[in-house]
């Protein structure tokens, strides 16, 4: 019995693999190891995973059908599909990359689930799907038909594909929408890393929307805990589904959607204050207008996660930011 984790050398994928391996589970990791950001960081994560006897790794692009076919005979029993092209702003520059990595690859994973004996597929979506919605906290009952970036549109497409497969082939699929994940071993394109790097070097930082963005920064350990609890509880048809008045958070298929985020919204300037305090330095702040594709506030309604899995976010930014900065100092001193 093996769990397939895609994006295994990525930020969230690494942490999910590590947790599963620590629990004694067998994990098959897949990652293309592309150069969207520093490959050395991905290699370092991967090396830690390869220290575990229960981990095997395959390097290829998940949008390559012939390569994916090689997974069909490996005895995979569940899938955590985390691999994706990340980044809202990069999606504006290179939308084709998001079609391949976020749509074609997701279709390949759903085909794998359909054609093999998969108990449950967990698909990583994003809070970005809420788009132009300004009704906070964001609820899975809300309409998500107004994406404002190609990244968001690609993730919503993945959700729709997953529901279609769950309905047609009765394969359990759960989509989890992540909210502003941060923590050790994060990506260099994330705000926390960028700010820390600029502040440490004495540079300036750009704060869009004049620093008034609010985000429910979610620590990686809380994300991983949520993913594991969802994984171990395959989606089932919802008895409350009403075909005469359908709601996005109910389905007659074995399909579900959950938000995994922090239900406390923090202003970006507060986040920067914490980084400066940990580094013992301050930065010049360039206050700039809102960027295209950005939302002003994100805040997750996580009550369904509490209700169904007993999960709740535990790590505040006052705890999480110092943990990241401690790791960041170690990593950059070795680079």
Catalytic residue numbers read 151
Cα torsion at 314, 319, 321, 326 (round to 10°)?
-120
Dihedral sign, CA of 274, 148, 204, 199? positive
Structure tokens at 119: 């108990």
The Cα–Cα gap between 3 and 75 comes to: 9
The Cα–Cα gap between 29 and 214 comes to: 34
């Amino acid at each position: 019995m093996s769990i397939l984790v895609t994006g295994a050398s990525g930020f969230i994928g690494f942490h999910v693999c590590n947790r599963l391996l620590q629990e004694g589970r067998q994990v098959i990791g897949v990652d293309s190891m592309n150069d969207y950001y520093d490959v050395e960081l991905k290699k370092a994560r991967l090396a830690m995973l390869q220290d575990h006897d229960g981990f095997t790794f395959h390097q290829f692009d998940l949008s390559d059908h012939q390569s994916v076919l090689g997974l069909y005979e490996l005895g995979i029993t569940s899938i955590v599909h985390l691999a994706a092209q990340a980044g809202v702003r990069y999606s504006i520059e290179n939308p084709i990359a998001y079609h391949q990595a976020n749509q074609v690859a997701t279709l390949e994973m759903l085909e794998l689930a359909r054609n093999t004996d998969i108990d449950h597929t967990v698909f990583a979506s994003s809070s970005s799907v809420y788009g132009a919605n300004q009704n906070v906290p964001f609820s899975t009952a809300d309409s998500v038909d107004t994406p404002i970036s190609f990244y968001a549109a690609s993730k919503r497409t993945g959700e729709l594909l997953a529901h279609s497969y769950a309905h047609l082939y009765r394969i359990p699929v759960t989509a989890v929408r992540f909210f502003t994940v941060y923590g050790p071993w994060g990506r260099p394109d994330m705000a926390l890393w960028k700010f820390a790097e600029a502040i440490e070097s004495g540079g300036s930082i750009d704060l869009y929307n004049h620093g008034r963005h609010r985000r429910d920064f979610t620590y990686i350990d809380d994300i991983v805990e949520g993913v594991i609890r969802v994984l171990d509880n395959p989606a089932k048809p919802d008895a409350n589904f009403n075909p005469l008045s359908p709601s996005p958070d109910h389905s007659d298929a074995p399909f579900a959607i959950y938000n995994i985020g922090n239900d406390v919204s923090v202003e970006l300037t507060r986040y920067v204050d914490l980084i400066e305090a940990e580094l013992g330095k301050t930065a010049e702040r360039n206050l700039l207008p809102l960027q295209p594709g950005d939302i002003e506030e994100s805040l997750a309604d996580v009550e369904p996660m509490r209700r169904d899995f007993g999960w709740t976010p535990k790590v505040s930014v006052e705890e999480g930011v110092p943990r990241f900065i401690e790791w960041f100092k170690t990593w950059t001193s070795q680079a």
